[in-house]
Amino acid sequence: MALTEMRDGKQVFNSFHGGYSVAEANFCGPVGGDVYVDSMLGWLARWIRMLGRHAYYDSNYSDAFLSGVDGLVITRDVGLHRSRRSASLLLLTDDHAAWLAVASRVLGLDFSIDMASTLCPECGGRLARVGRDEVAGRVPVGVVARHSDFFKCVDCGKVYWVGSHRIKIDAMLNKAMDISKRINSICIAGGTIFKID
């Protein structure tokens, strides 16, 4: 039996589940291995990387490619989710913080940024600590003057620093953590339902 059904043109959990549904998975428990993020979820791929877990993402991934990869696929595409024989996580909400809450639970991620393990949000490469002299000319002069710690992706070369945007990052992590505390997961028929009661 499917965990979701179409009702009045909208996808909802079958009525016996109750609550506000945020996701469903075709597996029970945490999942390891590779993570692939569907092309419509680039925002989430960047956050997963910032939390230290590599996530494969390309805006050109086709459903045919994603339906056959080994590892977890995170998607909002019902057809793709249903076609997967390997692990699949279907996000049922438009709430980005809820996406992050569910993905963090499934992947065992903490809601904190640790620059020692954070990966490049753009490509997933490792970040190396570099000095001001290595970023001069690559970042605004005022940033170089105000900051002494910079991080450069060893793969794509993008430069990062802990600036005022950290307030927004921490706010999103706190919101996702609060949502995570309210999410109940229920394993039924070999799949998991994630809902907020």
* pLDDT tens by residue, 122-142: 999 999 999 998 998 888 888
3-state secondary structure of 65: helix
pLDDT-above-70 percentage for the chain: 90
Torsion of CA 153, 87, 169, 138, to 10 degrees: 20
Q: Give pLDDT tens digits for 70-89.
A: 999 999 999 999 999 999 99
| Domain spans in the chain, listed from the N-terminal domain onward | 4-109+121-196
Q: Partners of 152 in the beta sheet? A: 128, 159
Instruction: Compute φ and ψ for 66, nearest 5 degrees.
Output: -65, -30
pLDDT at 5 over 70: no
What is the spatial distance between Cα 144 and Cα 161, in angstroms, rounded to a whole number?
10
Q: Mean pLDDT in the chain?
A: 90
Instruction: Compute φ and ψ for 162, nearest 5 degrees.
Output: -85, 100
Across residues 10-32, what is the average pLDDT? Answer: 74
Q: Partners of 195 in the beta sheet? A: 21, 184
Edge to edge, the sheet with strand 159-160 lists 127-130, 150-153, 159-160
Tokens 């927004």 belong to 168
pTM over 0.85: yes
Q: Give pLDDT tens digits for 137-184.
A: 888 888 888 988 899 999 999 999 988 888 999 999 999 999 999 999
